Amino acid sequence: MIGKGILKGMVETARNLTGSFHDPDRLTTVEYPEQKIPAKENARNFPFLIYDGDDWETGLRCVSCQICEKECPPQCIYIEKDKEKKPDFLGKMQMQPKIFDIDVSVCMGCQICVEVCPFESIRMDNDFEYAGSDRFKSLLLTKDQLAKSNKYYHSIHPTEAQETDEIRVQKREDHLAKEKAKAEKLAKSKKEAASEAALSKAEKAKEE
């Protein structure tokens, strides 16, 4: 005699089996690529480079410090510095990458490059569609392929992107405050030097 528990389990299994064919809430697959399941905000795949504004060449945040290249465990990042410099978001003249390649066939998505980047210029993408007819060439992403706008970053990781923007704003405010304090200190020292020079001149005039 089959026990009630076994019968109850069989009924539940049958219900789940039939429900997976017609219940929209229980459908586990979609007709990809015509239908796509939206990626979750914390989803990540391979890195990309962020640029500000509308022009990726002038707005690229990367200053080719090569920290990510050195820290990458599988050594899938290759950077070559350009001879020309450009101002960063703080107004400082910085190097820029002439070549920035990532071999995604080697990349393991560890995100170490993101963690070590001091300029908030490299982040993790959630794009996974990298299929191509060439096994190797299509998986070697160059600078122009890696460059994506800050707006795109906000669209895939809104919370993280907002936090990153706030960090950059704070850095800029700290930099401006430091520059202001430096300018005030310089102006004060010049004023004191001028006063001392005037006093010294007056004393010499009295002696004469």
Number of domains in the chain: 1
Residue 35 is assigned to a structural domain of this protein: no
Site of tokens 């795949």: 45
Residue 36 is assigned to a structural domain of this protein: no
Query: For the chain (length 208 residues), average pLDDT per consecutive 10?
Result: 79 84 73 84 93 92 96 96 88 92 94 95 91 81 96 96 94 89 87 79 71
Residue 26 is assigned to a structural domain of this protein: no
SS3 content of the chain, % helix, strand, coil (to 5): 50, 15, 35
Residue 104 is assigned to a structural domain of this protein: yes
Q: What is the CATH number of the domain that holds 136?
A: 3.30.70.3270
Res 67: pLDDT:
97
Res 17: pLDDT:
81
Residue 199 is assigned to a structural domain of this protein: no
Res 126: pLDDT:
92
How does pLDDT run across 137-190, given as a tens digit for each residue?
889 999 999 999 999 999 999 999 999 999 999 998 998 898 889 888 888 888
Res 197: pLDDT:
78
Q: Determine the structural domain holding residue 70 and report its residue range.
A: 47-167
Residue 141 is assigned to a structural domain of this protein: yes
Residue 56 is assigned to a structural domain of this protein: yes
Res 122: pLDDT:
97
Res 5: pLDDT:
82
Report the share of the chain in percent with pLDDT over 70: 96
Q: What is the DSSP string of 17-84?
A: HHHHHH-GGG-----TTTS-PPPPTT---SEEEEE-SS-HHHHB------HHHHH-TT--EEEEEEEE
Residues 195-204 as b/e (b if ≥16 CB within 10 A, e otherwise) read eeeeeeeeee
Number of DSSP helices (H) and strands (E) in the chain, helices first: 7, 6
Residues 50, 123: contact at Cβ < 8 Å? yes
Res 2: pLDDT:
63
Residues 109, 46: contact at Cβ < 8 Å? yes
Residue 6 is assigned to a structural domain of this protein: no
